[in-house]
Amino acid sequence: MLRTFNKNTREYNLYKAMYENQTYEFAKSKRQFYSKLNNGKMKMSKALELMNKYIDPSDPDINDCNLIHAYQTAERIRQKYPTNYEYQLCGLIHDVGKILYTFGEPDWAIVGDTFVVGAEYGKALVYGNLLKNNVDINDTIFRTKFGIYSPNCGVKKLTLSFGHDEYLYSVLKNNKNHRLSEKYLDIIRFHSFYPWHTGGDYSYFMSKEDETLKQNILDFNQFDLYSKTDEKNISQETKDYYKRLLEEYFPEELDW
């Protein structure tokens, strides 16, 4: 399903604020701040519950709370990969970084497609013309093709606009008391990087191993997209199934 975006809508206004405010300095400082994990301790199951109060304003296709989206994504993965529990959990928690809203972060620092900061903007960005309002566009280095990076440096070396992807990645990377492996951490980290994985931008930053990463994300993406025909009533049985999985893979509290 292709997402369509129109002017003067909820998501247009979100991108307007995002493109104006997500500068290189902003993204770098948020990343540094949140990597310290100084925002309390909480179990993954509790953080997931907080998704029942968040509706993603960046998506034109959805008005349900993110908790429903979490179960739907996991269930779609389970249908195709019934014994890949890690992948199912990845689907369940991939958007939990949106708990940034509970720390008072504005929507434009939580959601929306991510893009590279510190180098020329890609061509495939939603409402990309609004980036003219970003001060970075006048920076003599940032506005060059490679900016502060080098060709084929690998996408993991890039700083992206800050949001729920990078935040949850950092939580999972820096807490060692869970069983979700690197492959799924990387999918979480770059799942909103649409200009790259779907738009075809920034290929000149890719290293050899990034091709596998991209394929993993594209596989995940088919389950992440919303579909209006999906079941919104999550059965108790389904909830219990994921509760057990969460207990197994995230038995303890994490630092957030």
How far is residue 164's CA from residue 100's CA, in Å, rounded to a whole number?
Answer: 7
Number of H helices, E strands in the chain: 10, 2
Residue number with CB closer to Fe ion (54 or 142) = 54
- Exactly one of 201, 224, 226, 256 binds Fe ion (CB under 5 A); that residue is 224
Instruction: Choose one: 150-158, 179-187, 218-226, 233-241; the region binding Fe ion (CB under 5 A).
Output: 218-226
The CB-of-235 to Fe ion minimum distance in angstroms stands at 21
| Nearest in space to 126 (alpha carbons), one of 249, 7, 30 | 7
Compose the 148-187 pattern: x for residues touching Fe ion by CB under 5 A, - for all others: ----------------------------------------
Instruction: Choose one: 4-12, 57-65, 88-96, 140-148; the region binding Fe ion (CB under 5 A).
Output: 88-96
Residue number with CB closer to Fe ion (67 or 119) = 67
How far is residue 186's CA from residue 168's CA, in Å, rounded to a whole number?
Answer: 10
Q: How many residues bind Fe ion (CB under 5 A)?
A: 2
How far is residue 128's CA from residue 106's CA, in Å, rounded to a whole number?
Answer: 20
Q: Does 59 bind Fe ion (CB under 5 A)?
A: no
Two tokens, residue 240:
């219990």
Helices within the chain (DSSP H only): 10-21, 24-35, 44-49, 66-80, 85-93, 164-174, 182-190, 194-197, 210-224, 236-249
How far is residue 60's CA from residue 15's CA, in Å, rounded to a whole number?
Answer: 12
- Exactly one of 11, 95, 166, 210 binds Fe ion (CB under 5 A); that residue is 95
Instruction: Choose one: 24-32, 95-103, 126-134, 151-159; the region binding Fe ion (CB under 5 A).
Output: 95-103
Residue number with CB closer to Fe ion (95 or 105) = 95
Cα torsion 107, 26, 190, 112: sign: positive
Instruction: Choose one: 13-21, 117-125, 133-141, 220-228; the region binding Fe ion (CB under 5 A).
Output: 220-228
The CB-of-69 to Fe ion minimum distance in angstroms stands at 6
Residue number with CB closer to Fe ion (59 or 210) = 59
Instruction: Choose one: 24-32, 201-209, 210-218, 219-227; the region binding Fe ion (CB under 5 A).
Output: 219-227
Residue number with CB closer to Fe ion (68 or 245) = 68
Residue number with CB closer to Fe ion (3 or 173) = 3
| Nearest in space to 226 (alpha carbons), one of 50, 65, 7, 11 | 65
| Nearest in space to 146 (alpha carbons), one of 208, 207, 209, 205 | 205
Which residues are at the interface with Fe ion (CB under 5 A)? 95, 224
